[in-house]
Amino acid sequence: MNIPADLKYTKSHEWAKLNADGTVTVGITDHAQDLLGDMVFVEIPAVGRKLNAGEECAVVESVKAASDVYAPIAGEVVAANAEVEAAPEQINKDAHAAWMFTLKPDNAADLDNLLDAAAYQALVESEAH
């Protein structure tokens, strides 16, 4: 399982990456895509949409199930990855490269409330038992 140390994680299996320009890029984790299986549909939030932390904002569907994607922190959507909507299988190939959307955070310090790689690894391991 791939859990990059430079990302932050949510208990609902999203990853968040703080970019140099202060924006935050979001996707689902490698663990989440592995559980879901082959992706067949992705719906991402529209640019300009304001999100609250924990708000349902996207959907991923696989051959097994549909799952909501939640905003890891509050902010405004400033970019949406149309390529991943057009080719959802990109998430299965590399979940951490197949980002879904980018936020301009209301407060970048909110990232500190998310899990680091070690804490996310512990969460995944606890769910497996």
Alpha carbons 112 and 38: distance in angstroms, whole number: 32
pLDDT digits (tens, 9 = 90+) for 79-99: 999 999 999 999 999 999 999
Residue labelled with tokens 């405004």: 76
Place of tokens 């057009």: 86
Taking residues 51-59, report their average pLDDT: 97
Which pLDDT does position 1 carry in this prediction?
Answer: 79
Question: Is the pLDDT assigned to residue 129 strictly greater than 80?
Answer: no
Q: Which domains does the chain have, with CATH numbers?
A: 12-127 (2.40.50.100)
> How does the average pLDDT of the chain come out, rounded?
96
Q: Does position 113 have pLDDT exceeding 80, yes or no?
A: yes
pTM: 0.96
CA 97, CA 78: separation in Å to the nearest integer? Answer: 18
Residue 123 scores a pLDDT above 90: yes
